[in-house]
Amino acid sequence: MRYSSRGLKRRRNTDKWDVTLSHRDPLTGKLVSTYHTVKATTKKRAEKARDELIIRLEANGDAYDSKMTLSDFLDSFIQYKEGVMQVERSTADHYRKQARVLNRYMGSYPLCDISIPVVNDWMAQMMSEGYAARSVLKPFGLLKQAMNYAVAIDLVRKNPCDFCKPPKITRRKLNVLDRAERTRMLRLARDAEPSPLALAVELALTTGMRRGEICALRWSDIGECEVTVNRAISLDRGKAYEKDPKTDGSYRTIPLTKRLYAVLRAIEKDKQYVCRELEVPFGDPFILGTPDPDSRPYHPTQLTRDFHAFCKMNGFDLTFHDLRHTFATMMIAGGTDVRTVASYLGHSNVAMTLNTYAEVDPDAKRAAVGKIGEAFDMDLDGVFAEELEEPAFTMAFTVEQLRAMLAEAERREAASACA
């Protein structure tokens, strides 16, 4: 960052000089003036002090004497990321939520005062207040990314987050429904069809689709006993909008059960009939949304609230996303190839599926033991039983040899005692 001198004026009857400098704000491109004071007995020495000040400022970056707070900088950083379309609107909204957490603790700090101790103290305070490690790690990730950008544009010399270690996240056990509970939930959902919540529950349990993908389904996405995921509903400051699926792998076609396919087609015919009677064009509305031409989707937040109420009324303890975990776990437990499960879920690679669902049902692990025997042309259990009938060990010495060794040991012990 380059600084230019805009003025040098001595205060009357003192050895203090007022220095006016200017530079371009790297975030906005606007010309910014800063005011400083140097001490000197002559103008020549004042000019030298001014030049040394400029060198020092340029070496340290704008944050050396900047009044920009962390709150202001995070605001500008998120606007920049959103402006150059580096992130989705929903991601920018997520950044704003994490920025509010940071601002609560450090927002009023000047950017130049964000140091290693300050960052460590903030994380320690959040942990002492009972926040989970994950709740600290998310804003820490935003802060580290923002400070990297500050280094890149010469606002600060180093990123303090590079030298701070966030709290360790312990791997959480997935909250999934067992066979009896998921069967009970599916029966309850089917009894309530064709309500949007009931259809959403069955879709999640039998396809593993994400909440936003289910809300974004249109009738044109239903094929012959299959559904194609082409879009998702996401949120920006609470407002729903359509966007592309999460990753390239999220574009996928998923088979439907025959029963669910028949139910969806019957609901589609009913809605088409209603539109004809009302002389309203049917178009291609959202499956779980309103049937009018300007169809509005089932709002994801409303789906979450409705599902929470459904669970509370029927004795379930899980989130809507846990239905996706339930689907994946039951598929793997049933012996489905992991690559196939990954394609159902829309994961970008199989490793992600393995890392997330490595721990399957205990019943599946016990059942897998039977698969080991199928890999050999022999009865493994029979061989094991025969081996158990053999003596535990075979004696390597005769009784006479053992007695001789014992006598020799006693002789040596007696000789050692005499010595």
Sequence letter at residue 90: S
CATH domain 70-163 topology: DNA polymerase; domain 1 (1.10.150)
pLDDT of 246 > 80? The answer is: no
pLDDT band at 388; cut points 50, 70, 90? very low
35-37-41 Cα angle (round to 5): 145
Average pLDDT over residues 394-405: 66
pLDDT digits (tens, 9 = 90+) for 3-58: 888 899 999 889 999 999 887 766 666 787 888 999 999 999 999 999 888 887 77
pLDDT at 240: 86
Quote the DSSP letter at residue 13.
Answer: T
pTM for the model? 0.65
pLDDT digits (tens, 9 = 90+) for 317-367: 999 999 999 988 888 887 777 888 888 888 877 777 777 776 655 555 555
Write down the domain spans for the chain. Answer: 4-60, 70-163, 179-356
pLDDT band at 297; cut points 50, 70, 90? very high
pLDDT of 112 > 80? The answer is: yes
pLDDT of 250 > 60? The answer is: yes
377-380-383 Cα angle (round to 5): 110
- Picking from 151, 131, 133, 152, the residue whose alpha carbon sits closest to that of residue 141 is 133
Quote the DSSP letter at residue 219.
Answer: G
Report residue 357 as tokens: 């669902």
Q: Are 39 and 53 in contact (CB under 8 A)?
A: no
Mean pLDDT of the chain, nearest integer: 83
Distance CA 209, CA 215 (A): 10
pLDDT at 393: 47
Q: Are 29 and 1 in contact (CB under 8 A)?
A: no
Phi, psi of 337 (to 5 degrees): -60, 135
Give the CATH H-level superfamily of domain 179-356: Intergrase catalytic core (1.10.443.10)
- Cα distances (Å, whole numbers) of residue 245 to 17, 203, 252, 283: 60, 17, 10, 22
Written as one string, the DSSP assignment of 111-172 is: GGG--HHHHHHHHHHHHHTT--HHHHHHHHHHHHHHHHHHHHTTS-SS-GGGG--PPPPPPP
